[in-house]
């Protein structure tokens, strides 16, 4: 099966590897009470033409509500040179 277009070249989906890593760190105060958490997820897709790395960092309060989210998308060529990088910071509106 052929999928995707990259510079007018068809990319075989069998040549693309995808990995995902998620880490969550709990933030405690001086009395060991939970005051928040930070979740860091990194998704990487790699193929013969290069790689795409999507990193999403979420900061949560003690109730698990999103305080801020930072997403960075970086594209690398086959030689690991950065082709493009975009960052978006999102702050949810108050309820």
Q: What is the pLDDT of residues 21-69, one digit of tens each?
A: 999 999 999 999 999 999 999 999 999 999 999 999 999 999 999 999 9
Q: Residue 32 sits in which domain range?
A: 17-90
Alpha-carbon distance of 39 to 57, in angstroms, equals: 6
Assigned domain for 9 exists: no
Compute the half-sphere exposure of residue 90: CA atoms within 13 Å on the CB side of its CA.
10
Assigned domain for 63 exists: yes
Assigned domain for 6 exists: no
Q: CA distances (Å), 64 to each of 23, 38, 51, 67, 70, in order?
A: 15, 10, 32, 9, 16
Alpha-carbon distance of 43 to 25, in angstroms, equals: 18
Assigned domain for 48 exists: yes
Assigned domain for 12 exists: no
pLDDT number for residue 5: 44
Q: Is the pLDDT of residue 4 over 50?
A: no
The total domain count for the chain is 1
Assigned domain for 41 exists: yes
Assigned domain for 7 exists: no
Q: How many CB atoms lie within 10 A of CB 1?
A: 5
Q: pTM here?
A: 0.78
């Amino acid at each position: 099966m052929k999928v995707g277009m990259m510079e007018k070249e068809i990319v075989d989906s069998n040549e693309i590897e995808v990995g995902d890593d998620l880490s969550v760190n709990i933030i405690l105060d001086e009395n060991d009470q939970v005051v928040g958490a930070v979740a860091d997820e990194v998704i990487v897709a790699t193929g013969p033409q290069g790689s795409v790395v999507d990193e999403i960092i979420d900061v949560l309060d003690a109730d698990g509500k999103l305080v801020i989210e930072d997403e960075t998308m970086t594209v690398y060529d086959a030689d690991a040179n950065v082709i493009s990088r975009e960052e978006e910071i999102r702050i949810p509106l108050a309820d």
